[in-house]
Amino acid sequence: MHSLRTLSAMKRQRSEPPALISKLSPPSTPPTPQIIQKSHQSNNTIPISLSSKKRRRILIQNLSTNSKASKTYSPSNPISTNRETLNWVSLNLPKSELYLPLTFPTGQTFRWKSTGKLQYTGVVGSHLVSLKQLENGDVAYGFHNTTTDEVDAKLALLDFLNVAVSLIDLWRVFSASDLRFAELARHLGGARVLRQDPFECLIQFLCSSNNNIGRITRMVDFVSSLGKYLGTFEGFEFHEFPSLERLSRVSEVELREAGFGYRAKYIIGTVKALQSKPGGGAEWLASLRKVDLHEAIESLCTLPGVGPKVAACIALFSLDHHHAIPVDTHVWQIATRYLVPDLAGARLTPKMCTHVAEAFVNKYGKYAGWAQTLLFIAELPTQKALLCSDSGATMDDDNSTRNPGSDCTKGNLLSPLSPTPIICILALRSK
């Protein structure tokens, strides 16, 4: 059994507000958003909600747009550390549809590593892949090794990147009804919500409960190390995420010795609960993509260690519930400042959490979770400084009271033009 590894790039820590652990009733199912006209759609983005069959068909059609430029990837030996050997192929996704520094280090997933300037490397299913923002703003990919043909590998990647939703069209509709969003979107475009494997997402967020970013990353790395080894790149080891059966062979004692603390019993308990589900845990989790948000959150909350906020994160980042709103103290502050100012000063209770979630849904519709993601990023101190600098405005008074020694004010969080990972977002999102 491997021990937890220390990652120097992720070791910054900061004090956190108490986590929200109260029971949250999900918002009512919203109406279909008024979006999603066919104006100005890119070749690779379809702004509609898709069934699994339709989704696969659309993604296959997207592959044909640049299939001639792609090459078939055959199985290879463990990868080298020379990133120049990668064969980069454009995804035809512009920066406005996907900006890597505003997508990967934003607390959605803890398995992707910064492996170069504007470059991130991670695992999608059994595929080890690097993504890089090109000089023209487009995103390119490079598979390190794969045991399947390129079509299957790229299908999995496109599905993970949630390209069936057009960020450009969503931002246009949100901006038309919200002048503040319109201003923020000019500076923070490309902040995309991922579509992760539900089991992988669930285990990651069990690790994130009441935790700091360095420890979350080490825990997720430990769990990942139990899966099939895929290679080492730029000093990072990459593994396929372990199966439910593999995790069932890990004991609570082993996890506690590895530094998981009380979360060990939740992971063990959740694995056992999933194994008891009809058809298996993976099938049960996938079925939550087909129910409404209320039922999905209630079902997830039956698992040990899963509360309403963690359930909302899982629903938004892996289960296609685009209007799920993970409510914590930070989202509460955003809502009371801009959406429901009459609630300012009130105590954050389960009932208030419901009001906040519904306020986002009433304002932004079926894709409220995507809007909330951008608003969350924009409230981080250095992002606010950048936005205020661009607009000539001044910082809000509440920021002047922040600890001047915190990571955010020291510049660890840089502007959207910077390749540096946005550390503070992870710390906030994990609470």
Is residue 208 within 8 Å of residue 110, measured between CB atoms?
Answer: yes
CA distance linking residue 238 with residue 146, whole number of Å: 13
Which residues lie closer than 8 Å to 179 by C-beta, 6 or more apart? none
Is residue 174 within 8 Å of residue 181, measured between CB atoms?
Answer: yes
Is residue 271 within 8 Å of residue 234, measured between CB atoms?
Answer: no
CA distance linking residue 172 with residue 176, whole number of Å: 6
Which of helix, strand or coil describes residue 208?
helix
- From the list 293, 317, 294, the residue with the least C-alpha distance to 203 is 317
Antiparallel, parallel or unpaired: β 113-116 and 229-233: unpaired
Which residues lie closer than 8 Å to 386 by C-beta, 6 or more apart? 187, 415, 416
CA angle 216, 161, 113 (to 5 degrees): 35
Q: At what angle do helices 213-224 and 198-208 cross, to 10 degrees?
A: 140
CA distance linking residue 410 with residue 217, whole number of Å: 21
Q: How distant, in Å, are the alpha carbons of 57, 171, 257, 340 from that of 47?
A: 14, 11, 46, 28
DSSP letter for 12, please.
Answer: -
CA distance linking residue 33 with residue 186, whole number of Å: 21
List residues with catalytic annotation. 309
CA distance linking residue 243 with residue 392, whole number of Å: 51
Q: What are residue 303's phi and psi, to 5 degrees? A: -85, 140
In total, the chain counts a number of residues equal to 431
- From the list 361, 365, 422, the residue with the least C-alpha distance to 188 is 422
Q: At what angle do helices 150-160 and 52-63 cross, to 10 degrees?
A: 120
Which of helix, strand or coil describes residue 124?
strand
